[in-house]
Amino acid sequence: MGLFDFLKKKEVAGASTAIMPQEMYKAATLELRDILAPSALKVSPRSLNLGDKILRSFFVISYPRFLAESWFSPIINLDQVFDISIFIHPIETASILRTFQKKVAEVQSQIQMREEKGLVRDPMLDVAYQDLENLRDQLQQAQEKLFDVGLYMTIYGQTEAELDRIETEIKSVLEAKLVYVKPALFQQEQGFRSTLPLANDELNVHSKLNSTPLSSLFPFVSFDLTSDKGILYGINRHNSSLVLFDRFSLENYNSITFAKSGSGKSYNTKLEIIRTLMFDTEVIVIDPEREYEYLAEATGGRYFNISLNSEHHINPFDLPPVAEDESPAQVLRSNIINLVGLFRIMMGGLSPEEDALIDRAISETYALKDITPDADFSKLDAPLLSDFELVLAGLEGGESLAQRLTKYTKGTWSGFINSPTNVDMNKKFIVFSVRDMEDELKPIAMYIVMHYIWNAIRRNVRRRLLVIDEAWWMMKSEDTASFLLSLAKRGRKYYLGLATITQDVDDFLKSPYGMPIITNSSIQILLKQSPSSIDKLQQVFNLTDEEKYLLLESSVGEGIFFAGIKHVAIKIIASYTEDQIITSDPSQILAIKKAKEEFNLNK
């Protein structure tokens, strides 16, 4: 039984009666349709009263000779509540060609009759003849097909005056494009049914359109952020269009995500990773909470656990290969500067004298291995931290600095960086986890890992995405924050996109490097925010009050998506399979583990 069949016991011109509550009470049953159905229904010639809403349905009766691309997008993007149905009925080419033959003959005979009578040439007939001939040729060559197309709209309002205002707005937009609509007089019921998601064309008001103009009716468009290539980031909450975007089509390939804990930032990032991997892009993740391990396993990636007791080691003294536009001296000098920054973090700061001493000791440590600015060091073994400690201890004034390094070479932290590198990045998806690293060492670990990744990126230029989750860890130190900014600035040269994610807005923006990283990110994603940080974000991103409250009231996976100067409200949606792989919900993860255990037991 349909909605109208259920609601109406009898149909009277201008009014209908609904099943009364006392009848439901006497029947002693409450079915799903009783809950879904509105409280009352009234059908009138120009509108429907459905509960406390008034509806009016329209159909398109005429199109211009040419339809421009995306001509329908202004209607889709109207800030109104309405339903749209597009019914497309294919027409058999053979039958329509016979009709075309007759129509061409008619137009041809009219043109000849006017010529015989000596009348002035009619441009409209000439254009019609050319159009018919061109379309007939395209149909015969299977370049085009013909369709009966019905385009219907149903608008909603609280009052008749509001409906009239919305109708006038829609008509003015369409008539400016020479597209004309009419209300479904005495057919409001059929019009409403035709715009319900039931795929029933009850109005049957059709216009014939061939493939090219029909394609201009594509409904999933937005003048805001729909691209013809890229990955699906989510759904435009304003008009339900698709937010499709390719970060590698922008002036830089960087993004930054701000969100409070539990608002879906890691979920969104993992969803982007899965979809990015499909486009032959390598993805590298620095994971502070071990959230990407299952994703790496599911996609055939490689997972490295960086900790004091880990079997995976990275030697910070490793040197990158010399690029074509660089000299060995430049590469060595750059790595020495990076190492000075690392020791500044490891030792809790350096005085200018200590800084100079460290710089000299690093150069001498490399020289012990015959690594000098003039040498070819591509096949030489790099020194270790213990070698540097010996050199530093032998320099005047370096004894105290060497003593401070002891915990990294002989103490409890010696297993971390005082070993040759044994990490192999030969997969499309790589994850470095620092969750098991002590909090005191996390900035050091992230700095070392990022330098190792950077050297690997410079070795082979490929399309890559580097994801840094919980980036506020890196903003704690000036050296790590500075290096993060340099990645954001230099990554484009090496076809690298940097995705920075953080939940601690205050720590990120307090750093002098926070704003430059934001301005060097072409894509910015703001998900649900806390009241304590929203005012600062409103100032940084020039949000309106409505956008501010939208971020405060958003559900998980909802927020605002910025790309360049454009932005839209977005809802992140994953398929069932994607959701099972990327979820961070503890209850869902436990349920998945339990299901896997039961499956293994039953095998």
Confidence of residue 17 (pLDDT cuts 50, 70, 90): very low
Q: Which of 97-106, 250-259, 470-479 has the highest mean pLDDT?
A: 250-259
- List pLDDT tens digits, range 543-597: 888 888 889 988 888 999 988 778 888 999 998 888 888 887 667 767 767 777 7
| Residue 4 scores a pLDDT above 60 | no
| Residue 138 scores a pLDDT above 90 | no
| Residue 255 scores a pLDDT above 90 | yes
Query: Given this model, what pLDDT does residue 2 score?
Result: 46
Model confidence, pTM: 0.65
Query: Given this model, what pLDDT does residue 84 score?
Result: 93
Output the six-digit token pair for 238.
């304003």
DSSP string spanning 480-498? HHHHHHHHHHHGGGGTEEE
Query: Given this model, what pLDDT does residue 14 score?
Result: 40
State how far the Cα of 100 lies from the Cα of 120, in Å rounded to an integer.
26
- List pLDDT tens digits, range 60-115: 999 988 888 778 888 887 878 899 999 999 988 877 777 777 777 777 788 778 77
| Residue 368 scores a pLDDT above 80 | yes
State how far the Cα of 265 lies from the Cα of 157, in Å rounded to an integer.
36
State how far the Cα of 311 lies from the Cα of 264, in Å rounded to an integer.
32
Q: Which of 5-14, 254-263, 350-359, 422-431 has the lowest mean pLDDT?
A: 5-14
HEC letters along 279-341: CCCEEEEEECCCCCHHHHHHCCCEEEECCCCCCCCCCCCCCCCCCCCCCHHHHHHHHHHHHHH
Angle CA 44–46–48, to nearest 5: 55
User: By percentage, how much of the chain surpasses pLDDT 70?
Assistant: 92
Confidence of residue 12 (pLDDT cuts 50, 70, 90): very low
Query: Given this model, what pLDDT does residue 16 score?
Result: 42
DSSP string spanning 8-58? -SSEETTEE-PPPHHHHHHHT---HHHHHS-S-EEE-SS-EEETTEEEEEE
State how far the Cα of 154 lies from the Cα of 220, in Å rounded to an integer.
18
- List pLDDT tens digits, range 511-551: 888 899 999 999 999 999 888 888 888 888 888 888 888 89
Contact 391, 405 (CB under 8 A): no
Mean pLDDT, to the nearest integer, of 132-148? Answer: 80
Mean pLDDT, to the nearest integer, of 296-318? Answer: 87
State how far the Cα of 552 lies from the Cα of 531, in Å rounded to an integer.
7
- List pLDDT tens digits, range 20-75: 556 656 666 777 777 777 878 889 999 999 888 999 999 999 998 888 877 888 88
| Residue 136 scores a pLDDT above 80 | no
Greater pLDDT, 76 or 161: 161
Mean pLDDT, to the nearest integer, of 405-411? Answer: 82
State how far the Cα of 376 lies from the Cα of 322, in Å rounded to an integer.
9
Which residue type is seen at 35? I
State how far the Cα of 501 lies from the Cα of 268, in Å rounded to an integer.
10
Query: Given this model, what pLDDT does residue 254 score?
Result: 93
